[in-house]
Amino acid sequence: MVKTEKFWTFVFLGFVLLLHPVTVFGQVNSGNSNYEPQSGQSGKDVVWVPTPHQLVDVMIRMANLTSNDYLVDLGSGDGRIVIAAAKKGIKAAGVEFNPDLIEFSKKNAKSEGVADKTEFVQADFFEYDMSKATVITMFLLTDINRRLKPTLLELKPGTRIITNTFSIDDWNYDEKEELNDNSISWKTAYMWIVPAKVEGTWKFEGGEMTLAQTYQKVTGIMKIGNISYPITDGRLRGDVLSFTCNSEFKITCTVNNRNMKGTSEREGKSRPWEATKQ
């Protein structure tokens, strides 16, 4: 999808130059109550181009929001994603460096009747504490996503990260949706689910296993007695780990810090299974 940072920066800037050849190179924050943002205006880290409303709807749907969720939009612009989330009944926050966009977003939220469910914070998103978020949305360039990756990976397992168009370095996405509309320039959404940390040695009744992890992909060896078996098809979806051992039985379990608890299935029969990290 994403070829190189240089390639996509060129495309991104080229697109907004066609729309607004002047504002791309700078816009002074006016503090004017009649302020209207312009697609392509300059920002701290990227020029601002709004996510199309059609893709906002896709991103919100992909998040599969519940009443327990808290969404944070990094580089929230005019607040459209935050407002869309709030309309689903959840609390949502936008992090934006431009104070005019902050005030504009607050007015939009008020006019849409969701001011009580939204918060707009003027801040650098590299410094913002997003640890309470269960959903992160963003429309940022690949290089910025790469710099944010270490912070994103430390979020609570199961946190959904949804981007417009751009990837997160070498971390493969869990889901992808694309609008079938050629009139829209930005029409692809990707979702990652923060995986639990499972790398290391785990003890279980009758043996132990050693796991290696690359994001949501898990490999390893299970040892029972003096015999070692390969672990295959290992995958994390948030805090849920599933894998196959020796092509014979499948384990599905929930990871809770240093404990795993779930079921082991073999030949159509299942039984409880649990392990503890050493």
Amino acid found at 169: D
Structure confidence at residue 46 as a pLDDT band (50, 70, 90): confident
**Once rounded to an integer, what is the mean pLDDT over residues 42-50?**
78
Structure confidence at residue 48 as a pLDDT band (50, 70, 90): confident
Structure confidence at residue 10 as a pLDDT band (50, 70, 90): very low
Q: In this predicted structure, what is the pLDDT of residue 42?
A: 72
For residue 109, pLDDT beyond 80: yes
**Once rounded to an integer, what is the mean pLDDT over residues 97-107?**
95
For residue 237, pLDDT beyond 50: yes
**Once rounded to an integer, what is the mean pLDDT over residues 154-167?**
98
For residue 22, pLDDT beyond 60: no
Look at 238 and 16; give whichever has higher pLDDT: 238
CA distances from 252 to 188, 234, 237, 273 (A): 31, 10, 11, 9
Residue 121 buriedness (CB in 10 A; 0-12 / 13-18 / 19+): middle
Quick one: tokens of 157? 């397992």
Tally of CB atoms within 10 A around 221:
15
Q: What is the pLDDT of residues 79-100, one digit of tens each?
A: 999 999 999 999 999 999 999 9
Q: In this predicted structure, what is the pLDDT of residue 228?
A: 96
For residue 30, pLDDT beyond 60: no
200 in the Ramachandran plot: left (φ > 0), alpha (ψ -120 to 50) or beta?
left
The H-or-E segment that residue 179 falls in is none
pTM above the 0.75 mark? yes
Q: In this predicted structure, what is the pLDDT of residue 2?
A: 37
Minimum mean pLDDT range among 41-55, 205-219, 256-270: 41-55
**Once rounded to an integer, what is the mean pLDDT over residues 20-31?**
38
The H-or-E segment that residue 119 falls in is strand 118-122
Q: In this predicted structure, what is the pLDDT of residue 39?
A: 67
For residue 16, pLDDT beyond 50: no
Residue 278 buriedness (CB in 10 A; 0-12 / 13-18 / 19+): exposed
Minimum mean pLDDT range among 38-52, 143-157, 235-249: 38-52
- Nearest-CA neighbor of 103 among 44, 29, 50, 38? 29
